[in-house]
Structure 1
Amino acid sequence: MSVVSTAPLSVSDRADYWQDAVSRAFVPLDVVLHEDAPAAASIVTRQVGFMQVSTVTAGPQTVTRSPRMIARDGKETLALTLLHRGTAERSQDGRDAVVRPGQFSLSDSRRPFSKSLRQAFSLTSFHFPRSALAVTDLELQAVTATPFGEDEALSALLAGHLKRLGRSAGSVPVAQADRLAAVTCDLLACLIQERQGRLAPQEPAAVEAMLLRVKEYMLQHLADPDLSLVAVAAAHHVSLRYLHKLFESEGATAARWIQQQRLECCRRELARATSHAPTVATVAQSWGFANASHFSRVFRLAYGTSPREYQAAARGRSR
C-alpha cells in the first residue's frame, strides 16, 4: 500500500504537490484546484494483480488529460471510477455526463478527457491496461463518460463487485489477485457488450458474470428460510437446469453452496466473544436454518464438533 497526503504541507504548497502526486499515481494530468486554500487531500493505492486500486479524497478540482499530456507518456490504460461522495462532470469522445454517488464511469487514457468535481469528493479508481479488456475500440468509445449505476442487473452486479473490491483490496491473497482483476475486466466487458447487444449467454464471460450475479443474490437472501433454487432461477430468468449447470465447476451443487455459506455465517457468529452470546437455535434461525436438529447435524459434519461445543470453546479462548 502507498499513501500520498497533502495534510502535512502548508496550504500554499498543496496545489503543486497535488498536481505532481495525481500524475504520478495515475497518468499525466492537468489539475486545477477550485479552492483558494486547498483542503488536505489523499491517495491510498493498493495493487490487486495487474489492477491498481486507488481511493482518492480531495476538495473541488478539475483534472484534464490533454493531447499534450498524452504525448508525454503514451500510456494505454483504462480507469473505472466508482464515486462515493460528490458529483463528477465527465467528458470524453464527444459525450458529457454527470456521475453521482454510487455510480461508476470509464475513461481511456489514449484520448483526451476531463473530469470536474465542484465539491469535496471521495472515489475509488481501478486502473488497468487496455489490453486486459476484451472489447473493440468502437465498443469502448461508445461507453466512455457514461454513468452506470444499480438501475440495471449487470451494472448493479459490477457496482457491488467494485465496492467490495475497493474495501478488500489490501487483503486479497497474491495467488488470487490476477484472477480477481481479470473477473473485474470480464464483468466490464460483459456490461459493454450487453449495451451493444452482442452478449451471448453461452460465452465464458457471460457465464461467469451470471454465476457471480447468482451468488450475490444468494448471499443477500441467506437469512431467508424460504430461499430455494426455484426462486433463485426465477429471479434471474433462467431455468433450474441452467442454474445447476452454472455450479458444475464450483465443486458443489447450488444447494450445497448455499448451505456452506450459511454454515460459515453461523460459525463466525458462534465464535464471537460477546458477553451476551446468542443461543445456537437463534443463530441457526437467523441464517435460514428452520430446523435446529438439522443445523446441528450439518454443522458437526462440516466442522467436526457440535455448534454448542464450538461456541463454548470459542468463549473459553476469549476468556
Structure 2
Amino acid sequence: MNRAAPSAPTSGSAKGVVISITLSTSSLPPSDRAEFWRDTVSRTFFPLDVELYEAEPSAATLTSRQLGPLRVSAVTAGPQQAVRDRRMVARDGEHHLTLAIQHHGTARLAQDRREVFLEPGQFTLSDSARPFVKELPGKFGFTAFHLPRTALNVTDGELRAVTATVLSATGGCAGVVAAYLGALARDAAGVAPDTAHQLGLAACDLLASLIREQHGRFVPEAPEASRAMLVRVKDHTLRHLADPELSPQTIAAAHHVSVRYLHKLFESEATTLTKWIQTQRLAMCRRDLARPSLRGPGVASVARRWGFTSPAHFSRVFRAAYGMSPSEWQAAVRAGEDALPPASGAGRR
C-alpha cells in the first residue's frame, strides 16, 4: 500500500495502545484508485475481491482504530461489490466476524442462503469463514466492527442463525449494542489506551449477548453476559441520575432481571450499586458547583438536579466524599483553590 500516504499516522504498537490510521484515495488519479482500494480493504479486513462500479471511481476513505481485540473502521466510498468466495476462505484460514452499521446509502448482504437489504440505521453480521457477497449500489458510509471469532464465546450454530439478518438500532438488545458501538466509534480516540482495550472487550461481550439473544438462548449467568449486562446497567444509570426515583428496583425492572442479580453484578466492582449511584451523583454535583459564574448555581438546586431530595443528606455525603461542605467547595473554587483531588471512587466513570 505504497501508492498513497496515510492522511493520519499510526500511533503505537504495544498491547493496550490505541492504533489508528486513515487511508484515502483522494490524492490518487481515478485510474489508480481501484487497485489501491482493493488492497486497502483486504488488508484491513480479510482477502476480498472488490469490484468498483464507477468508470472513474469516487474518492474513498477508510479510518481504522484497534481497541483490544476489536477493530473499528469507518468507511465512505462509491458504489462497489465485495465478494469472499470459497477459494479465499480455504486459502485464508482465518476466522473473523464483521458487524457493519449502515449510516448512509444502502447495502445488500448474501450469506448462508439468506439475502438482506440494509437501510441507514440498520446493521448486520457477516462471517469470514463462509462465502458471502456484499453489494453497495450507491455512495455509502458505514462503520464496521471487526473481531476474531475466538473473541466470542458462542457456538457456530448461534453464529449461523444471526449472519445476514437485519438488526435495528432503535430498540431492545440490538439498540443497546448499536448505541454502545456508536459511542465507542465516536469517543474511543479520547480515552486512555488501557481503557480503550477494556471497552473493546466489553463490546465483544455485548455482541456475544446479542447473538445468544437472537438465537433464543440468552444465558444471564454466562460471564460475558454478566459483563455486558453491567455495561448496560451503568449506561442506563448514568442517563437517569437526575431521577430521584432511580433505585436498584427500577433499574432491575428496566433490564428484566432480579434485584439480587443486579447486586451480584457489582460484586466485582468493589462497591454496591447504591454506593455507585451516589458516587456518580456527587461527581456531577461537584462539577456543577465548580462552574465559573458570578451567580453560580445554589447548592440546593444542584443537589435536586442530580437526584438528591434531602439537602441535609446531600451536604453530609458530600463532606464525607470530599472533606468539605458543598458551599465550602464552591467558595474554594471561586477563590482559585481547586487543587483538591477527587475522593477515592469519585468521578463519572
TM-score by length of 1: 0.87
Structure 1 position 156, deviation (Å):
2.2
Query: Which letter maps to 1:196?
Result: H
1:39 to 28, 43, 58: 58
Answer whether contact 1:47 1:169 (CA < 8 A) is retained: no
In the superposition, relative to structure 1, how do residues 233 and 136 fare at CA in structure 2: closer, same or farther (>3 Å)?
Answer: closer
Answer whether contact 1:80 1:127 (CA < 8 A) is retained: yes
- Of stretches 246-255 and 170-179 in structure 1, the one that deviates more from structure 2 is 170-179
Match of 1:92 in 2: 111
1:192 to 193, 196, 211: 211
Match of 1:103 in 2: 122
Match of 1:227 in 2: 246
Cα distance in 1, alignment partners of residues 293 and 35 from structure 2 = 50
Answer whether contact 2:162 2:215 (CA < 8 A) is retained: no
- Of stretches 130-139 and 60-69 in structure 1, the one that deviates more from structure 2 is 60-69
Query: Which letter maps to 2:309?
Result: A
Gaps of 5+ in 2: 1-19, 338-349
- Of stretches 29-38 and 13-22 in structure 1, the one that deviates more from structure 2 is 29-38
Match of 1:121 in 2: 140
Identity of aligned residues (%): 53
SS in 1 for 2:168: coil
Answer whether contact 1:55 1:124 (CA < 8 A) is retained: yes
Query: Which letter maps to 2:121?
Result: G
SS in 1 for 2:83: strand
Structure 1 position 34, deviation (Å):
3.4
Q: How many residues align?
A: 318
1:20 aligns with 2:39: yes
Answer whether contact 1:53 1:169 (CA < 8 A) is retained: no
1:268 to 287, 291, 300: 287
In the superposition, relative to structure 1, how do residues 308 and 123 fare at CA in structure 2: closer, same or farther (>3 Å)?
Answer: farther
- Of stretches 214-223 and 197-206 in structure 1, the one that deviates more from structure 2 is 197-206
2:267 to 245, 248, 269: 248
**Which whole-Å deviations, capped at 9, do the CAs of 1:258-291 have from their partners, x for residues lacking one?**
1122222333344455788544444333322233
In the superposition, relative to structure 1, how do residues 118 and 272 fare at CA in structure 2: closer, same or farther (>3 Å)?
Answer: farther
Match of 1:202 in 2: 221
Match of 1:2 in 2: 21
Quote the RMSD (CA, aligned, Å). Answer: 2.7
Answer whether contact 2:202 2:231 (CA < 8 A) is retained: no
Match of 2:174 in 1: 155
Cα distance in 1, alignment partners of residues 104 and 295 from structure 2 = 37
TM-score by length of 2: 0.80
Match of 2:149 in 1: 130
SS in 2 for 1:248: helix
In the superposition, relative to structure 1, how do residues 191 and 310 fare at CA in structure 2: closer, same or farther (>3 Å)?
Answer: same
Answer whether contact 2:208 2:225 (CA < 8 A) is retained: no
Structure 1 position 250, deviation (Å):
1.8
Match of 2:234 in 1: 215
Answer whether contact 1:82 1:162 (CA < 8 A) is retained: no
- Of stretches 214-223 and 61-70 in structure 1, the one that deviates more from structure 2 is 61-70
Structure 1 position 243, deviation (Å):
2.4
In the superposition, relative to structure 1, how do residues 274 and 16 fare at CA in structure 2: closer, same or farther (>3 Å)?
Answer: farther
Query: Which letter maps to 1:124?
Result: T
Cα distance in 1, alignment partners of residues 275 and 55 from structure 2 = 59
Gaps of 5+ in 1: none
